[in-house]
Amino acid sequence: MDLNYRYLFVFLLITFASCISNPPEIKWSFTDQEVTGNRPKKENGIKLDVYVDATTSMQGFAKNSSSPYGQFLDQLETSALSAWKNADVKYYKFGESIRPIDRAEYLGAKSDPGFYHEKGIFMKTYIDSVVKRTDTARLSVLITDLFQDEGDVNTMVEEFKEKCFANGVEVGIAGIKSDYKGKVFDVPGFPKGYDLESAERPFYCIVFGNIYNMELLFQALEAKPFVKEDHVLIFSPHVIQSYNVTMNKGKVPGLGPASGTVAKNLYNFKMSSDLKEAKFDLAIELQRNIHCPDFSVGNVEFIAFKKSGVDPKNYSKDSVATEELTLDNLQRMGNKLTGVLRLKNEEGEGNYSYMAYLKTNALRGLKLPVWISEFSTDKPVPGTSSSSKTYNLEKLCTALLVANASVTPTYLSKFYINIFKR
């Protein structure tokens, strides 16, 4: 055989052998949208629908134009224009039904008692009728006292779940205390309601849309003295704005850093084929969305998925849930999480890749801010401080947390580990 052909034959043989023996590279999508959401580009304008609860119990807020309630109605459009260059605002009054109104009639709600006595509207608050009209293309703002009986709460939660959360519509609530002199209805034990005069009865601005536009509106409103930053709550699966994961292997013989795919929150390690276990020190820096519920570290769950690549002929692009990667001793200090990752991989040579999430428990993972319980009562009694509070507010918000989590899990972080066993 000619010498040149021999060299070519040997080269091809070596190349073919290496192609068979080298495990395939494993790839993921490397997106963190499950954690942080997909932030859209800010638009120059916003479409804004404003719904004012025109039932009788709201009349007590129409005391004077200079009250926090009056100022809020006055400043809502101004706040929108400070967040966007232009705002297409439409106004409605609602209760038993919904009716479009012009801006002059809307502003009349600040001090005109007649606004709250329109036949076919004033008797009952059907918030679910407004919920059905919401979508992500615009912001819908609902102004109400949120006084709901037991049946109303259950109906509202189901409507929010089906019409909002299941369709990507997020919900925010701002609680604002204002002067009040009127009659409060829908109270157990008081079928005809009770008279109340108070300097701090809450009304609520409920906003429907996407969290990014919602944040812009709330930030603009918080520039006013009557809207407090710590009296805002947003129900969204995206409680984290950004995060950064660091991982250290410690001193483990047979385990070391490796070159490989470069991506955010991805770590590559080479590992001796006879090494079956390893551990890593994990640290995660979080930037929380301050308007979203905080999480309880004791109710954070860890889940992992695995892809394996032993040889090109035995390679699945699909991931499977795995218990080979576990997390111990998770602790929280401020917005930093730390823990110990433990890996148990008893397989031989190959490429093994793990994708891991930290997520909150659907029932107990998130906790309401303190102001919700401070504004809420489960038994309003005339002549006591509870008479100014909102009936069933805490129950409603707790149920909304669970409903939202049942539709879309709340993830706190996501990261990857590549293990190259040789």
pLDDT, averaged per 10 consecutive residues of the chain (422 residues), comes to 48 44 76 89 90 96 92 94 93 96 96 94 89 91 86 87 95 97 88 93 96 94 93 97 93 88 93 94 96 96 92 73 96 97 93 96 95 95 94 94 96 96 90
CA distances (Å), 312 to each of 11, 259, 309, 402, in order?
Answer: 20, 20, 7, 44
Residue 154: the pLDDT is 86
Q: How far apart are the first and last CA of the chain?
A: 36
Write down the H helix ranges in 280-385.
370-375
Number of H helices, E strands in the chain: 9, 22
Query: What pTM value is reported for the model?
Result: 0.90
Instruction: Tell me the one-letter amino acid at 15.
Output: T
- Residues 361 and 295: their CA atoms lie apart, in Å, by 9
- Dihedral over alpha carbons 204, 229, 287, 356 (to 10 degrees): -20
Can you give the residue ranges of every domain in the chain? 45-238
Torsion of CA 264, 265, 268, 271, to 10 degrees: -170
Q: Say whether domain 45-238 belongs to CATH 3.40.50.
A: yes
- What integer pLDDT is reported at residue 2 of this predicted model? 55
